[in-house]
Amino acid sequence: METRNQIIQIATKAFLHYGFKNVTVDEIARQAGISKKTLYKEFVKKDDLVLASVENYNEKHWDEMCNIMGQSKNAVEELVGVFYHMMKMFKGMNPVCFVDLQRYYSKAYKYMEHFKQTKLHDCIKKNIEDGIEQGLFRENINSEIIARYRMESVFMMLHLDVFPKKEFDLIEVNKQTFALYMFGISTLKGHKLITKYFEQLNK
- Give the tens place of pLDDT for each residue, 52-104: 999 999 888 888 888 888 899 999 999 998 888 888 888 878 888 888 998 99
3-class SS string, the chain: CHHHHHHHHHHHHHHHHHCCCCCCHHHHHHHHCCCHHHHHHHCCCHHHHHHHHHHHHHHHHHHHHHHHHHHCCCHHHHHHHHHHHHHHHHCCCCCHHHHHHHHHCHHHHHHHHHHHHHHHHHHHHHHHHHHHHCCCECCCCCHHHHHHHHHHHHHHCCCCCCCCCCCCCHHHHHHHHHHHHHHHHECHHHHHHHHHHHHHHCC
| Structure confidence at residue 199 (pLDDT) | 82
User: How far apart are the C-alpha atoms of 126 and 123, rounded to whole Å?
Assistant: 5
CA 126 to chain centre: 18
| Structure confidence at residue 124 (pLDDT) | 93
User: How far apart are the C-alpha atoms of 181 and 159, rounded to whole Å?
Assistant: 18
User: How far apart are the C-alpha atoms of 167 and 178, rounded to whole Å?
Assistant: 19
| Structure confidence at residue 189 (pLDDT) | 96
Residuewise pLDDT in 10s, the chain (203 residues): 588 999 999 999 999 999 999 999 999 999 999 999 999 999 999 999 999 999 999 888 888 888 888 899 999 999 998 888 888 888 878 888 888 998 999 999 999 999 989 988 999 999 999 999 999 999 999 999 999 999 888 888 888 888 888 898 888 888 899 999 999 999 999 999 999 888 876 66
| Structure confidence at residue 92 (pLDDT) | 74
| Structure confidence at residue 160 (pLDDT) | 81
Of 105, 104, 107, 96, the closest CA to residue 163 belongs to 96
User: What CATH number was assigned to the domain covering residues 52-201?
Assistant: 1.10.357.10
